[in-house]
Each structure stands twice: as C-alpha cells, then as structure tokens.
Amino acid sequence: MKKNILVGQSGGPTAVINASLYGVIAEGMARPEEVDHVYGMVNGIEGFLSGHVTDLSLLTREDLSLLKQTPAAYLGSCRFKLPENLDAPVYSLLFEKFTAMNIGACFYIGGNDSMDTVDKLSRYARIRRETISFIGVPKTIDNDLPVTDHTPGYGSAAKYVASTVREISLDASVYQQPAVTIVELMGRHAGWVTAASALARKYPGDNPLLIYMPEVPFSMEQFFKDVEQALSRQPNVVICVSEGIRDKKGRFICEYTNDAQIDTFGHKMLTGCAKILESYVRNRFRVKVRSVELNVNQRCSSLLASAADVEEAECSGRRAAEKALQGETGKMVTCSRLSGPGYELEYGLTEVGNVCNREKSFPVEWITAEGSDIGPEFLDYALPLIQGQPDHIMENGLPKYLYRK
C-alpha cells in the first residue's frame, strides 16, 4: 500500500536548505508506486503539532525550480526540543498525527539539535514497534556535524564569507592612513565559517592578516601584540574573528559586556565581540577602527551560493528519501571523499546517535601562528566546496524566489 512522506526543516536556515527539500520532494514524487503525497511541516515539529502542514505534491515544475534556488527555509523553521522522557505525551500525539496522515517516512533537515529530534522519534518508533522511517538530512553553515566530511550549507557560506571579506579588504586598502577592520563571523564553538576568510587572500600575506577562532583560547595581550606587528607590516589591517572566541577561562569575549542571552536549547546567543575588540584596539593604538558583523547574510545569500553545494544538498535529500523507502531509519545522510585525484563524493548513512548533540571542531593542527592564522590544509579541504555558480531565474533584475502565501 502506498504511503505518504513528511518533511520538515529546523534550526538556522542556509542558502541551500531548500535544495535538500527539493531533493526529498523530487525523489518522492519520482516513486508514484510507493509515495502518494509529500507533505511538509510548516515551522518544523512545533508547527506540525499545531496542525500546520502543506501538500508539497501540489508544487509545479516551475515552483520546484524556484524552490531549489530559494534561500532560507521555505517551510519555515523552529527551535523546538522534544523531551528526553520518551513517555512524555507529545510523542503519542505526534504518532497519532503520523498515523492519521498515513506517513511512512519522515525527514528532518537540520543540524545537531535537529538530529536529536530524529534520534528521539526513531527510538520511540522502535520501542512502540511503529513502522515509520525517520531520516536526518544534514544542514548547517557551521560545518560542525561529526562523521560526515562536510555539511550542505557550508560551501555556500564559505564562498560568501571569502567573497565578502575579499571585498572588505579591497575597500580597507583605499586609504593610506593606519586603520583596522574587524569582521565578526558566525561560529559558537567551531571556527569553520571564520576559517573561510582565509580563502579571500589573493596572495600570501594578503588580508585578512589575523584570524581567530574558538578552538584556541583568546588572549587579549597576544592579540595586542599581533595587531601591533600587523600594523608594522602595512597600514590597513583586516582581522576576522568567530563570534564564539573565548579566553583561557572559557569566558566569551562578547560576555565582557554581559549582554549574552540564552536560547531555548541553552546555547548562549553570541554577538558583539568585534564591537568590543574595536574599542580595545582604538583605545590601545589610537587608529581608525571599524567593526563589521556579517550576521545572517552568511546563511542566506543565494546569489553567492556554490553550485557544488547546491548539487550536494539536493543529493543528500534524494539519498534520504531513497534509503527511507528502502526501510532505513534512525540514520543521517553522510558524505565522504573518494581517494584519488580530483574531488568526488560518496553518500552513505550513519546512526543519528553518532551525530546528535555532538560537534566537530575545526582541526587544531590546521591553526597556525599561535592561534591567529590558518594552514594550507584547510585550503585543500575547502576550495572544492565553493566551486561553481548556479544559474538563477531572474525577474526585473532580481532573483525570483518561491515563498508560501
């Protein structure tokens, strides 16, 4: 008997999260003998609990083409944590809804916390002998999911960061007066996004001259020494910092103002370390200082998306649908690089318990110069991820996107 499939998006969006959604929909609709309808959770599990569902099978071919190039989360997102206790009433309510909708497979596109949702639902199903498959589709610009080589969304974020920092560096070079520009980038515990700023360099010794990430404790005194040395080399210095840099005591630099707040998952909401460092540098060196926070642009710039990233995001969604319909459950889609010349990926699965609530840090051995620069190993790793420019459907000189009305 044919079943319906259900897909949701959760956590922070990316430039290619909808390409993964497209992959799930396209693969499901390509199997009419197995799949009747493809439904979407509006605003993830939280919206689904409130009855907010849309029939994605009704999207036209043109709609799907637009969906693939649309940034942010078409279905809407949420940050909703399911209870640790699998006897909580919410689980029986969810499965009552699954049964009423004749759901045979459920997909959740997200990061660490979203994989926690997949893990809990699949464990509940196993205990209650439910036959629904639950598969996680990886998504995060932070690139911090373990097991998989990299995460869809990271390549486009890296390309945006490298392109934007290159432009900021060119702008900073216009004047001959000494000046420092501090660029704050996303990354609470992992410095992958900030590391991408190294790709902006046009030649060795180019800006950004200094790069600081959470993996190495931040020392204000060493920072001052680094800045002094950098200013002695050239008048215009660009520095890139992760939002999550912290001192050796574990205190976030942004907390020096005591403004950090907590989100629903207990994570500190970090912002403002570049602004704090701006004040320190201005007071210490008496030069012109500017701080720039790229903020959400890092995750929603489809015009600077990587074609490789779009393709890999779609493949991840397709593989998730394929494996779920084969009966796999409690897994997340992974990718690994094949050995040999060139760049080629192989897609697989891992137990979602290997991923949820865990983080993959940036390799410390790739961090050089006493914690203020990135080694060549990262360039070899990251360059294949930012290749290509996807074709865009345009309207009146602007990209055309799909959105829910």
3-class SS at 103?
Answer: strand
3-class SS at 20?
Answer: helix
- Phi and psi angles of residue 253, each rounded to the nearest 5 degrees, phi first: -60, -35
Residue 3 vs residues 6, 101, 106, 242, 302: alpha-carbon distances, Å: 10, 9, 11, 45, 34
- Phi and psi angles of residue 153, each rounded to the nearest 5 degrees, phi first: 110, -30
- Binding residue per annotation — 142? yes
- Binding residue per annotation — 153? no
- Binding residue per annotation — 255? no
Residue 302 vs residues 161, 197, 391, 400: alpha-carbon distances, Å: 13, 18, 10, 11
DSSP state of 50: T
Is there a cis peptide before residue 208, judged by omega within 30 degrees of 0?
yes
Q: Are 157 and 298 in contact (CB under 8 A)?
A: yes
What is the C-alpha radius of gyration for the chain, rounded to an integer number of angstroms?
22
- Binding residue per annotation — 135? no
User: Which residues have a catalytic role annotated?
Assistant: 142
Q: Label residue 160 exposed, middle or buried (CB < 10 Å: 0-12, 13-18, 19+).
A: buried
- Binding residue per annotation — 309? no
Give the Cα separation of 67 and 403 in Å (integer): 8
Nearest Cα to Cα of residue 30 among 322, 315, 333? 322
- Binding residue per annotation — 181? no
Under 8 Å CB-to-CB from 341, ≥6 apart: which residues?
Answer: none
- First CA to last CA distance, the chain: 33
Give the Cα separation of 254 and 185 in Å (integer): 13
3-class SS at 238?
Answer: strand
- Binding residue per annotation — 396? no
- Binding residue per annotation — 186? yes
Give the Cα separation of 240 and 196 in Å (integer): 10
DSSP state of 252: B
- Binding residue per annotation — 143? no
Residues that constitute the known binding site for Mg(2+): 112
Residues that constitute the known binding site: 12, 112, 140-142, 186-188, 243
